[in-house]
């Protein structure tokens, strides 16, 4: 039975990946400070409760910005560390930069250093599509070798810093390093600050839905199940190269207005829309080119990710059942 460390198991992607791996005969060691408030605390508690039901799950509550020296023995027993703990959200980051620098840069440094010092074979970390900045994608989307544009947020800046630091570590050790640029991940137990959650919640409560830039911004909405299956493939397949960056996205950008209309159809209710100007932290479009990932992990065969309609239907069903409970 393989053992992995996942940081951020109280968070959306970290929880979802941990649950998926536990269901597939992995032993998972979770590390998270678990400090949410309000609805986020409710979500974190439920995620922790579900993971704790697995015999092969062990949890440590730690602030990753502080020393991890007491966890050295834990790091020594694993082959792979998946660092997903971070403060997410582009808009808030421009108002609270210190919080993002601590949780996304200082914590990253502590975890990758611990992994290197304890001879971890593979270090996987979460980057973001936001690193592409303000560039406009070609018809085939953003490829990993593109020169990055002007970043729009402190959050994007922290993720670029993570990629730069990881590339330096790749020159100093034989540890394999994989950076994953996630594109607008959504699904059950998702983030309350993201559009799918905000739209569903507002419609069901009869509250106005805030739509920026008339809903014309396009996002590569990617369903969580496709994300965790992609990460598992990266965990399990050995490769020769030391450092690689991969896009993880649906490769089918949709407008935010299309997202809202899809949610209205799924819920059978219309939204009361409040239009607002686009915020400077928001990029106009994200669009993942998955050719590199498919060539290395799918024998060149394109992946068929979940359609927006199917994914939103599942998310809406989950949202209703979770809040009824």
**From the candidates 26, 57, 132, 155, which is the catalytic residue?**
155
**CA 246 to CA 87: how far, in whole Å?**
21
SS3 at position 226: helix
3-state secondary structure 224-267: HHHHHHHHHHHHHCCCCCCEEEEEECCCCCEEHHHHHHHHHHHH
Angle CA 214–215–216, to nearest 5: 90
Is the distance from CB of 257 to CB of 192 less than 8 angstroms?
no
**CA 219 to CA 287: how far, in whole Å?**
7
Is the distance from CB of 16 to CB of 228 less than 8 angstroms?
yes
**Catalytic residue flag (residue 275):** no
Enter the DSSP assignment of 136.
P
**CA 177 to CA 158: how far, in whole Å?**
17
- Return the sign of the alpha-carbon dihedral for residues 57, 121, 230, 260: positive
Secondary element (H or E) of residue 266 = helix 256-267
Please list the active-site residues. Answer: 155
């Amino acid at each position: 039975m393989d053992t992995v460390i996942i940081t951020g198991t109280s968070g959306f992607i970290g929880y979802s990946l941990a649950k998926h791996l536990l269901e597939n005969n992995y032993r998972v060691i979770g590390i998270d400070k678990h400090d949410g408030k309000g609805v986020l605390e409710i979500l974190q508690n439920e995620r922790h409760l579900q993971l704790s039901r697995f015999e092969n799950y062990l949890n440590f509550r730690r602030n990753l910005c502080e020393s991890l020296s007491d966890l050295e023995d834990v790091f020594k027993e694993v082959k792979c560390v998946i660092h997903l703990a971070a403060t997410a959200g582009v808009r808030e980051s421009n108002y609270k930069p210190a919080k993002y620098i601590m949780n996304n840069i200082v914590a990253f440094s502590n975890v990758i250093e611990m992994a290197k010092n304890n001879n971890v074979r593979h270090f996987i970390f979460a980057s973001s599509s936001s690193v592409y900045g303000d560039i406009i994608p070609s018809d085939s989307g953003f490829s990993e070798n593109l020169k990055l544009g002007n970043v729009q947020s402190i959050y994007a800046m922290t993720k670029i810093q993570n990629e730069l630091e990881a590339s330096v570590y790749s020159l100093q050790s034989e540890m394999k390093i994989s950076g994953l640029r996630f594109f607008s991940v959504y699904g059950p137990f998702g983030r309350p600050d993201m559009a799918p959650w905000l739209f569903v919640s507002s419609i069901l409560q009869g509250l106005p839905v805030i739509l920026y830039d008339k809903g014309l911004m396009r996002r590569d909405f990617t369903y969580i199940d496709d994300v965790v299956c992609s990460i598992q493939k990266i965990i399990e397949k050995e490769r020769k190269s030391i450092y690689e960056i991969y896009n993880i996205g649906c490769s089918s950008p949709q407008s935010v207005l299309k997202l809202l209309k899809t949610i209205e159809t799924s819920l059978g209710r219309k939204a009361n829309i409040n239009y607002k100007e686009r915020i400077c932290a928001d990029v106009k479009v994200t669009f993942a080119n998955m050719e590199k990932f498919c060539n290395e992990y799918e024998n060149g065969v394109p992946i068929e990710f979940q359609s927006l309609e199917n994914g939103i239907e599942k998310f809406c069903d989950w949202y209703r059942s979770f809040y009824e409970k």
